[in-house]
């Protein structure tokens, strides 16, 4: 059983944070499009970003900021324009955006991190940014997480948010005393989703006190087990950013090295990231269900996660799920091309409760019932909600890994064919 509980509040659930989301006129639709997350004190900052060689200005900006200074006070995010492939002027726009927010908040410019999402090749509408920032700062509050989560989305159908709370001991007291520690997060993402990372933005806040190097390690490991284990369409973006702040306002003892408190905090951080990652996969463009692939029996966890990602990302597997076709051959083929050695005579495949293959041999199963299982997943009527569960065992090794994706529908093509038009 998890050593934490879910609480309301998103990124403003941890102590010492405010957030806001407004309509600044960046999106043609008139939907909310400018978001702020603000720590009332200096916070330790960590980030994980896209591995693409074509990167948005905000990605390079944040990387440079975090290399020079491992702390931050604010995150500014605009939706509507990716500000990627926009050259030197796009870089200047990112710098100006950070400086404008810093002036409005009366904080140093190098404590502002920025993120953008939208159409590649389009610069930020700076007139709207300049007029919007004062209103954004004015709207910031300790209950503003929902507004911020709404303002960062693009093709998403739903917002994504979570907050968890645990208790860490206060070692300076003789009695067994503990204090609450909270981690909150919001995210956006629906299409152009694939490991390393995806068209996704995720912002995490925490009120624990953590050493900078340790916080970065925790965030990186959490990303590997969550955002780098989701796929919708096999495309990686120019703008992916996971930014995490830890401001120490829980007043719990500083965590400077791995130990029980650090492990508990990292586990909760990973749980927050997995929740947001699954929400992104579930909201995949045109998707009708979430697909969860669990792989066991691998030589190590890294290998297991690689096989799981390959299966979850297979267009043939995804298409079969949309067609409610329990075609286990596509699952086997995807596992086989994951570049992880295993003995095919040890391969086992399950779809929900249906055992389709065991020890490399196909088994008789009720195809109509298995198809109905997939139909029910799309309708969310069975115990696991809208999740199609695929379990694959490739041997007797200790490695385990999970990946999440979604089915591939006709609507995915329609949504992306019309994206800029």
Instruction: Check if the beta carbon of residue 246 is closer than 8 Å to that of residue 213.
Output: no
Q: What is the pLDDT of residue 233?
A: 62
Q: What is the pLDDT of residue 421?
A: 45
CA distance 306 to 337: 10
Listed in sequence order, the DSSP H helices in 171-327 are 212-225, 260-282, 301-313, 315-322
Q: What is the pLDDT of residue 286?
A: 79
Average pLDDT score over residue span 69-91: 96
- Is 51 labeled as catalytic in the residue annotation? no
Reported as a single tens digit per residue, the pLDDT across 307-338 is 999 999 999 999 999 999 999 999 999 999 99
Reported as a single tens digit per residue, the pLDDT across 170-196 is 865 555 788 999 999 999 986 555 555
Q: What is the pLDDT of residue 149?
A: 98
Average pLDDT score over residue span 248-256: 96
Q: Name the average pLDDT for the chain.
A: 92
Q: What is the pLDDT of residue 177?
A: 85
- Percent of the chain whose pLDDT exceeds 90: 79
179 exposure class (CB count in 10 Å sphere: 0-12, 13-18, 19+): middle
Q: How confident is the model at residue 1 (pLDDT cuts 50, 70, 90)?
A: low
Average pLDDT score over residue span 122-143: 98
Average pLDDT score over residue span 289-298: 96
Q: What is the pLDDT of residue 236?
A: 67
pTM listed for this prediction: 0.91
In the 8-state DSSP scheme, what is residue 255?
B
**Alpha carbon 360 to its chain's center:** 35
Reported as a single tens digit per residue, the pLDDT across 353-384 is 999 999 999 999 999 999 999 998 877 644 44
Q: Both tokens of residue 134?
A: 């004062």
Average pLDDT score over residue span 234-257: 90
Backbone dihedral angles phi then psi of residue 214, each to the nearest 5 degrees: -70, -40
196 exposure class (CB count in 10 Å sphere: 0-12, 13-18, 19+): middle
Range scoring the smallest mean pLDDT among 80-89, 212-221, 234-243, 370-379: 234-243
Q: How confident is the model at residue 105 (pLDDT cuts 50, 70, 90)?
A: very high
Q: What is the pLDDT of residue 261?
A: 95
List of domains in the chain: 5-282 (3.60.70.12), 290-417 (3.10.20.340)
Residue 413 pLDDT > 50, yes or no?
yes
Residue 51 pLDDT > 90, yes or no?
no
> Which residue among 111, 154, 166, 199 is the active-site one?
199
Nearest to 266 by CA among 304, 306, 217: 217
Residue 352 pLDDT > 50, yes or no?
yes
391-421 burial code (b ≥16 CB/10 A, e <16): bbbbbebebbbbbbbbbbbeebeeebeeeee
Q: What is the pLDDT of residue 235?
A: 60
Q: Both tokens of residue 85?
A: 């492939």
Instruction: Check if the beta carbon of residue 68 is closer than 8 Å to that of residue 250.
Output: no
């Amino acid at each position: 059983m998890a050593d934490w509980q879910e609480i309301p509040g998103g990124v403003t659930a941890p102590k010492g944070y405010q957030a806001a989301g407004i309509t600044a006129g960046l999106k043609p639709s008139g939907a909310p499009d400018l978001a702020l997350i603000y720590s009332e004190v200096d916070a330790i900052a960590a980030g994980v970003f896209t591995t693409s060689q074509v990167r948005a200005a905000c990605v390079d900006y944040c990387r440079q900021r975090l290399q020079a200074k491992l702390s931050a006070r604010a995150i500014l995010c605009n939706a509507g324009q990716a500000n990627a492939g926009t050259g030197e002027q796009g870089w200047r726009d990112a710098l100006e955006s950070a400086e404008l927010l810093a002036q409005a908040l009366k904080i140093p410019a190098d404590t502002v991190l920025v993120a953008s999402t939208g159409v590649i090749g389009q610069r930020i509408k700076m007139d709207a940014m300049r007029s919007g920032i004062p209103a954004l700062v004015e709207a910031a509050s300790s209950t503003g997480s929902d507004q911020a989560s709404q303002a960062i989305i693009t093709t998403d159908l739903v917002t994504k948010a979570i907050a968890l709370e645990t208790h860490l001991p206060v070692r300076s007291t003789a009695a067994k005393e503990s204090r609450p520690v909270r981690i909150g997060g919001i995210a956006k993402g629906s299409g152009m989703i694939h490991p390393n990372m995806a068209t996704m933005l995720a912002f995490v806040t925490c009120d624990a006190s953590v050493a900078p190097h340790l916080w970065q390690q925790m965030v990186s490991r959490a990303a590997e087990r969550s955002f780098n284990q989701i796929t919708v369409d096999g495309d990686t973006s120019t703008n992916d950013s996971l930014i995490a702040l830890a401001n120490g306002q829980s007043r719990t003892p500083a965590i400077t090295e791995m130990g029980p408190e650090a492990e508990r905090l990292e586990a909760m951080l990973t749980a927050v990231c997995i929740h947001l990652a699954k929400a992104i996969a579930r909201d995949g463009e045109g998707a009708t269900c979430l697909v969860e692939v669990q792989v066991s029996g691998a030589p190590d966890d890294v290998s297991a996660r690689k096989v799981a990602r390959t299966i979850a990302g297979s267009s043939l597997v995804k298409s079969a799920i949309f067609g409610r076709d329990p075609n286990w051959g596509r699952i086997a083929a995807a596992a086989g091309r994951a570049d992880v050695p295993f003995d095919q005579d040890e391969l086992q495949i399950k779809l929900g409760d249906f055992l389709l293959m065991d020890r490399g041999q196909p088994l008789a199963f009720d195809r109509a019932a298995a198809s109905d299982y997939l139909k029910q997943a799309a309708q969310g009527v069975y115990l696991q909600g809208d999740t199609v569960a695929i379990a694959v065992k490739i041997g007797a090794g200790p490695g385990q890994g999970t990946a999440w994706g979604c089915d591939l529908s006709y609507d995915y093509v329609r949504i992306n064919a019309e994206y800029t038009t």
